[in-house]
Amino acid sequence: MGNLNFDASEVAPMSDSFEPLPAGWYQMRVIGAEMYTGQSADAGEMLKLQLEIDAEEHLKYSGRQVFSYLCINHQKATVRNIARRQLSSIAHALGVDSIDDTDELLGQPLLTKLKVRPAANGYDASNDVSGYAAVGSNQPAPKAPAKEEPIDGPAKRAWK
């Protein structure tokens, strides 16, 4: 056992239920980016992105995070091509032509389009990233909670 020395009177409790964010465009920043090998044999190498809502633009959702998994070296060409097009969208949104290191993705603002994946197979509803654009492009701000948009197709994830 370890000595914790935590005083709950010094920290406000979490009040957010972490329900999925409403579908729409959000200004976010990449705060984490790492390459790793997927768990299944055909997953190949993935780029895992951790994105955080930009507090200045979306105060209500400040600090909320979503994750995006780009299977850029997947065995299946369709999955690989989708991931590479997504990475190209990120590069264009950040105003760069090439990315040599994952650290180059960190900290810069970009617009991120979120969809809501309904609860299924024992998993709660969650957000999926479905697009990227440059800040200042004419993407609409998210509206009140929208109708959930299911995620279909070959790039559908079965994990969280």
Q: What is the pLDDT of residue 50?
A: 97
140 HSE (CA, 13 A, CB side): 6
- What pLDDT sits at residue 60? 82
Per-residue model confidence (pLDDT) at position 15: 62
- Residue 142 has a pLDDT of 52
User: What is the pLDDT averaged over residues 16-44?
Assistant: 86
What percent of the chain has a predicted confidence (pLDDT) above 70?
A: 82
Q: Return the DSSP state at 119.
A: P
Q: Among 12, 25, 160, which Cα is nearest to 89's?
A: 25
Query: 119: which 2 tokens?
Result: 């609860």
Measured CA to CA in angstroms, residue 44 lies from 5, 20, 39, 68, 128 at distances of 42, 28, 8, 15, 20
Q: Is residue 140 part of a domain?
A: no
Number of folded domains that form the chain: 1
The parent domain of residue 25 ranges over 19-133
- Residue 8 is assigned to a structural domain of this protein: no
**Does residue 10 have a pLDDT over 80?**
yes
Average pLDDT of the chain, as a whole number: 83
pLDDT tens digits for range 58-77: 788 888 999 999 999 988 99
Residue 87 lies in a domain: yes
The verdict on residue 119 lying in a domain is yes
What CATH number is associated with residue 27? 2.40.50
Give domain status of residue 102, yes or no: yes
Is there a domain that residue 33 lies in?
yes
pLDDT bracket for residue 151 (50, 70, 90): very low
2 assigned to some structural domain: no
- Given a cut of 80, whether residue 9 has pLDDT beyond it is yes
pTM: 0.74
Taking only the tens place, the pLDDT of each residue in 73-132 is 988 999 999 999 999 999 999 999 999 999 999 999 999 999 999 999 999 999 999 999
For residue 55, the one-letter residue type is A
Q: How far is CA 15 from CA 7, 19, 145, in A?
A: 18, 11, 19
In a domain, 142, yes or no: no
Count Cβ atoms within 10 A of the Cβ of residue 71 and give its class: 0-12 exposed, 13-18 middle, 19 or more buried.
buried
- By the 10 Å C-beta count (0-12 exposed, 13-18 middle, 19+ buried), 86 is classed as buried
